[in-house]
């Protein structure tokens, strides 16, 4: 590709980035870019698993948007001002004000991250043989349900599985299937209904306010608690503002309050839209359930006013929540992800459309159509991207979501994606252009990319520690 063509396409794609970043950079970190030979050696030594790479050996890190945000000067100053106390810290009460202001919940429990919230909630509610319906469970949610003996069930609308279909709310629950499922399994076997906003597994796709209301009505009709997996709640609210009739003149903050007014509770990883490096919450309406969560939290997380965190982290979370619901911030955030998506579409790279709120998902089935899912095409693509350019993405395909039958045969995942998760307030448009150009180079030589054989994986969340070998 000529420089002139690259510039032309970049100018055309820039139309999706209508405004400049609403901040200025006050501190920088130098990045190291290893040679191609060094990168090949590094990925081979990790068993072709990018989770095992050292961060210092990664040039651009799109592994996750969890815990990787750049904090604001106000967040950092609040951390410095915070006084450390085991019980009754001022930072806890500042966080309490933010939780009440943004979510409208009086009762909550502080935890160290989202999976801590899931562990506590499911330990109390889920028993062996129970079912937990969701639009789509992400990996840790699915694992925590299974760890308690339950069965996670995905009931997302069928359109979610078509990566090329441009539908406004591909994260919506199929409400008809949900009600049929409740009637089939029985209310007593369903301890809660969850809705993941946005739907990470399905490409960061949002859930409409109308769908939230419908799910809440079903839950109320059958007297089943209704919970959000709320990791990216404000991004979901922004999508509602942009796409749903009647919400175009409402703020992200107002839409958020309405969304949570329909829920009985939520789990929340603050490492996403708390804009912090660590932390999480469980919000509940029911007084008895709150007491149970709080008491179990004391055993496995910490005293309620610190929840396994240093008090400075509570201060940063309190401020981060306020920043996450600012319309200006959300506009920038979404336009940056859309910019990367458009750069890839300009090169005919197959992605999940439309772009999600936190990441661009490259469809490995269409990128590498000759590699069967049993040979982990998304994992192969992820490792090739690191070798090509020092970019770390993550596989969300058969390694992460595949199952094995009773005979040990692989049951491939329904979707086979490489996720490019964009950390918040971290990378520039130039760096995203480098990412897009590197993927373009891979696409041009995609016939040379070979599949992988998995040689090791633990039973639950096996993709984190899995090991692979190239298929010759």
Q: Are 436 and 60 in contact (CB under 8 A)?
A: no
Answer with the residue of higher pLDDT: 8 or 220.
220
Give the C-alpha separation, 85 to 15, whole Å.
Answer: 49
Same domain, 396 and 283: no
Give the C-alpha separation, 164 to 138, whole Å.
Answer: 21
Tell me, what's the pLDDT at 14?
Answer: 52
Distant-in-sequence, close-in-space partners of 11: CB < 8 Å, separation ≥ 6: none
Is the entire prediction scored with pTM above 0.85? Answer: yes
Tell me, what's the pLDDT at 464?
Answer: 87
Give the C-alpha separation, 172 to 211, whole Å.
Answer: 6
Does residue 71 have a pLDDT over 60? yes
Tell me, what's the pLDDT at 72?
Answer: 96
Same domain, 316 and 380: no
Is position 133 within any domain? Answer: yes
Final residue of a structural domain among 270, 293, 324: 324
Give the C-alpha separation, 293 to 192, whole Å.
Answer: 15
Is position 264 within any domain? Answer: yes
472 falls in which pLDDT band (50, 70, 90)? confident
Does residue 424 have a pLDDT over 50? yes
Is position 67 within any domain? Answer: no
In 301-397, where does DSSP find H-type helix?
Answer: 311-324, 327-346, 364-367, 377-389
Does residue 116 have a pLDDT over 90? yes
Does residue 10 have a pLDDT over 80? no
Q: Are 356 and 160 in contact (CB under 8 A)?
A: no
Host domain of residue 260: 73-324
Does residue 238 have a pLDDT over 50? yes
Final residue of a structural domain among 324, 340, 372: 324
Q: What is the spatial order of strands in the sheet that 280-284 belongs to?
A: 107-111, 280-284, 265-269, 226-229, 193-196
Same domain, 83 and 33: no
Final residue of a structural domain among 324, 359, 386: 324
Does residue 19 have a pLDDT over 80? no
Same domain, 374 and 417: yes
Q: Which tens digits make up the pLDDT trace of 389-403?
A: 999 999 999 988 888
Same domain, 378 and 398: yes
Same domain, 358 and 450: yes
Same domain, 218 and 249: yes
Q: What is the CATH number of the domain that holds 343?
A: 3.90.1150.10
Does residue 12 have a pLDDT over 50? no
Give the C-alpha separation, 219 to 20, whole Å.
Answer: 42
Tell me, what's the pLDDT at 461?
Answer: 75
- For the segment 360-366, the average pLDDT, to the nearest whole number, is 97
Tell me, what's the pLDDT at 3?
Answer: 39
What is the average pLDDT score of the chain?
93
Q: Which tens digits make up the pLDDT trace of 372-385?
A: 999 999 999 999 99
Same domain, 253 and 266: yes
Cα end-to-end span (Å), the chain: 30
Is position 283 within any domain? Answer: yes
Give the C-alpha separation, 273 to 334, whole Å.
Answer: 13
Tell me, what's the pLDDT at 1?
Answer: 39
Does residue 170 have a pLDDT over 80? yes
Is position 66 within any domain? Answer: no
Does residue 386 have a pLDDT over 60? yes
Q: Are 454 and 467 in contact (CB under 8 A)?
A: yes
Among 138-142, 205-209, 275-279, 459-463, where is mean pLDDT lowest? Answer: 459-463
Same domain, 224 and 235: yes
Answer with the residue of higher pLDDT: 138 or 435.
435
- For the segment 211-237, the average pLDDT, to the nearest whole number, is 97
Q: What is the CATH number of the domain that holds 140?
A: 3.40.640.10
Does residue 67 have a pLDDT over 80? yes
Same domain, 171 and 311: yes
- For the segment 257-283, the average pLDDT, to the nearest whole number, is 97
Tell me, what's the pLDDT at 371?
Answer: 95
2 falls in which pLDDT band (50, 70, 90)? very low
Is position 68 within any domain? Answer: no
Q: Which tens digits make up the pLDDT trace of 123-134?
A: 999 999 999 999
Structurally, how many domains does the chain consist of? 2
Same domain, 313 and 371: no
Same domain, 351 and 417: yes
Q: Which two tokens stand for residue 66?
A: 């969890």
In percent, the amount of the chain with pLDDT more than 90 equals: 87
Tell me, what's the pLDDT at 167?
Answer: 93
């Amino acid at each position: 590709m000529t420089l002139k063509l690259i510039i032309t396409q970049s100018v055309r794609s820039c139309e999706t980035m209508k405004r400049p970043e609403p901040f200025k950079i006050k501190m920088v970190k130098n990045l190291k870019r290893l040679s191609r030979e060094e990168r090949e050696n590094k990925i081979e030594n990790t068993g072709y698993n990018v989770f095992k790479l050292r961060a210092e050996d990664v040039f651009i890190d799109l592994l996750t948007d969890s815990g990787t945000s750049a904090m604001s000067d106000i967040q950092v100053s609040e951390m410095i001002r915070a006084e450390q106390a085991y019980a009754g810290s001022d930072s806890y009460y500042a966080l309490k004000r933010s939780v009440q202001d943004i979510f409208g919940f009086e009762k909550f429990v502080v935890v160290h991250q989202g999976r801590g919230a899931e562990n506590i909630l499911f330990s109390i509610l889920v028993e062996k043989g129970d079912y937990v319906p969701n639009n789509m469970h992400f990996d840790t949610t699915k694992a925590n349900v299974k760890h308690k003996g339950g069965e996670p069930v995905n009931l997302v609308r069928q359109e979610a599985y078509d990566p090329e279909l441009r539908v406004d709310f591909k994260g919506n629950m199929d409400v008809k299937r949900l009600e049929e499922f409740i009637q089939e399994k029985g209310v007593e076997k369903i301890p809660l209904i969850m809705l993941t906003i946005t739907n990470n597994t399905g490409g960061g796709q949002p859930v409409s306010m109308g769908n939230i209301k419908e799910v809440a009505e079903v839950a109320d009709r059958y007297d089943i608690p209704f919970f959000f997996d709320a990791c990216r709640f404000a991004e979901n609210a922004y999508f509602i503002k942009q796409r749903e009739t009647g919400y175009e003149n409402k703020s992200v903050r107002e839409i958020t309050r309405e969304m949570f007014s329909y829920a009985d509770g939520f789990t929340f990883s603050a490492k996403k839209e708390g804009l912090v490096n660590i932390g999480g919450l469980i919000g509940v309406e029911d007084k008895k359930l709150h007491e149970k969560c709080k008491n179990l939290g004391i055993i496995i997380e910490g005293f309620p006013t610190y929840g396994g965190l240093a008090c400075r982290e509570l201060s940063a979370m309190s401020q981060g929540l306020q920043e996450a619901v600012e319309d200006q911030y959300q506009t920038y955030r979404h336009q940056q992800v859309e910019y990367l998506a458009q750069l890839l579409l300009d090169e005919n790279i197959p992605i999940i459309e439309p772009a999600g709120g936190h990441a661009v998902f490259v469809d490995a089935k269409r990128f590498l159509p000759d590699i069967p899912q049993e040979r982990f095409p998304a994992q192969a693509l992820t490792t090739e991207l690191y070798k090509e350019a020092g970019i770390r993405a993550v596989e969300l395909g058969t390694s992460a979501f595949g199952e094995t039958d009773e005979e040990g045969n692989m049951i491939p995942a329904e979707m086979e994606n490489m996720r490019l998760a964009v950390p918040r307030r971290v990378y520039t448009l130039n760096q995203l252009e480098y990412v897009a150009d590197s993927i373009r180079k891979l696409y041009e030589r995609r016939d040379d990319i070979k599949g992988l054989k998995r040689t090791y994986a633990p039973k639950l969340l096996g993709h984190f520690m899995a090991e692979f070998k190239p298929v010759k």
